[in-house]
Structure 1
Amino acid sequence: MSTDRNIVLFDLFGVIARHQRPGAQERMAARCHAPTDAFTTAYWACRPPYDAGQQSAPEYWTAVLRSLSLSLDADTIEELRLADIDSWSRVDDRMVAYVQSLRDIAEVALLSNIPLDHADAFLIAQPWLRNLNHIAFSGKIKVAKPAPAAFHHCVVAMRAAPTDFLFVDDREENVSAAQAAGMNGHLFTDHDELAAVIDTWLPARRPTGK
């Protein structure tokens, strides 16, 4: 079935935004007086409910510190929370410009796994995001990729069909999940390859003839 909706749905981290700042987890581990390896294991093991909006930041950091058998105090938790937000705050300026330029030829949306407080900070630091056609942050929609409900949210929110979307992510499991949900998918590696894919995808979807 042909469609006149062309929606490019972007992941955030690893595509438009940079991955976590190098050395950030080592510095947070040092603040806790914890071994880096143990801290990293706890940091990621406790992360899914936080990303999916099922835990607040204090609840997440309490779980991390408890798993490390460390004492808890509000000042430490707040320092870790702010350091964590800062560690995920960098963007790729070239990709930001490219994403914004696409709005002249397609609808542009965002689907990102990001905790609620991180999402709020990102929106303040990057106000251009509010110009996109839709923003779906996992901490706000209460579900994270690669769960099918994350992709379904975007389809319903944009009143579109899954086939209207080209989903762009740097993680293969997320692209595969989007494709299983009926979307087109592209595994992101760099700007130039993505631009070529989108340049091909958009003309291919324009009806020819009458």
Structure 2
Amino acid sequence: MSTDRSIVLFDLFGVVARHQRPGALGKMAARCHTPTDAFTTAYWACRPPYDAGQQSAPEYWTAVLRRLSLSVDADTIEELRLTDIDSWSRIDEPMVAYAQSLRDVAEVALLSNIPSDHADAFLAAQPWLHHLDHVAFSGKIKAAKPAPAAFHHCVVAMRAAPADFLFVDDREENVRAAQAMGMNGHVFTDRDELAAVIDAWLPTRGLTWS
């Protein structure tokens, strides 16, 4: 079932924002005087509850440090937290401009796996996010992709039908999860390919470029 709306739902990192800054994990590992490989393993192993809003930043970093058998103190946690936020702060300017341009012909929304404190920093630094039709951050909605609840949130919040959405993500497992919910999906590789997909999709929605 569709309500005949056209909603392009973007992932953030790897689509309209850059992936983590190169060398950031090594910098954080050095701060902890631990090997980068061990730090990286702990960083990602402890991440899911933090991304899904089930842990605060101090709780997440405490889990990381304890997994590495390191002492836990507030100063270390705050330094790691701020370095981590900075490492995920880069956007892809051409993709941001393209996403904004789509609002002439479609609704544009965003669904990102990002902890709550990261989301606050991103919203403060990137005012264009406030002009989208809906923004959903996993740490705020308490659900992270590819969990169905993350996609369901967008459907309910936008009062739309799953078929109204074209979900764009650089991770195939997330696109497949969206498709399982009844959304259209595209695995992002580059802007030109995405533009061709959207150009082909919009006419099926009864819309044309102005």
RMSD (Å) for aligned C-alpha atoms? 0.9
The DSSP-based 3-state class of the residue aligned with 2:109 is: strand
Structure 2: how far apart are the matches of 1:58 and 1:2?
42
Partner of 1:70: 70
The DSSP-based 3-state class of the residue aligned with 1:103 is: helix
Structure 2: how far apart are the matches of 1:148 and 1:47?
19
Structure 1: how far apart are the matches of 2:120 and 2:155?
23
Compute the displacement of 1:2 (Å). 5.6
Partner of 1:105: 105
Whether the 8 Å contact between 1:2 and 1:205 is mirrored in structure 2 is no
Whether the 8 Å contact between 2:5 and 2:205 is mirrored in structure 1 is no
Whether the 8 Å contact between 1:178 and 1:185 is mirrored in structure 2 is yes
Partner of 2:149: 149
Kindly provide the amino acid, as one letter, of the partner of residue 16 in structure 1: V
Partner of 2:196: 196
Kindly provide the amino acid, as one letter, of the partner of residue 171 in structure 1: R
**TM-score calculated relative to the size of structure 2:** 0.97
**TM-score calculated relative to the size of structure 1:** 0.97
Kindly provide the amino acid, as one letter, of the partner of residue 140 in structure 1: K
Compute the displacement of 1:4 (Å). 2.4
Structure 1: 4+ residue segments shifted above 4 A:
none
Partner of 1:116: 116
Kindly provide the amino acid, as one letter, of the partner of residue 154 in structure 1: C
Kindly provide the amino acid, as one letter, of the partner of residue 33 in structure 1: H
User: How many aligned residue pairs are there?
Assistant: 207
Structure 2: how far apart are the matches of 1:118 and 1:146?
19
Unaligned runs of 5+ in 2: none
Change (3 A) 1:2 1:177: closer
Partner of 2:55: 55
Whether the 8 Å contact between 1:171 and 1:187 is mirrored in structure 2 is yes
Pairing 1:82–2:96 present: no
Kindly provide the amino acid, as one letter, of the partner of residue 4 in structure 1: D
Structure 2: how far apart are the matches of 1:2 and 1:16?
26
The DSSP-based 3-state class of the residue aligned with 1:186 is: strand
Structure 1: how far apart are the matches of 2:154 and 2:204?
23
Partner of 1:92: 92
Pairing 1:184–2:195 present: no
Partner of 1:136: 136
Whether the 8 Å contact between 2:12 and 2:110 is mirrored in structure 1 is yes
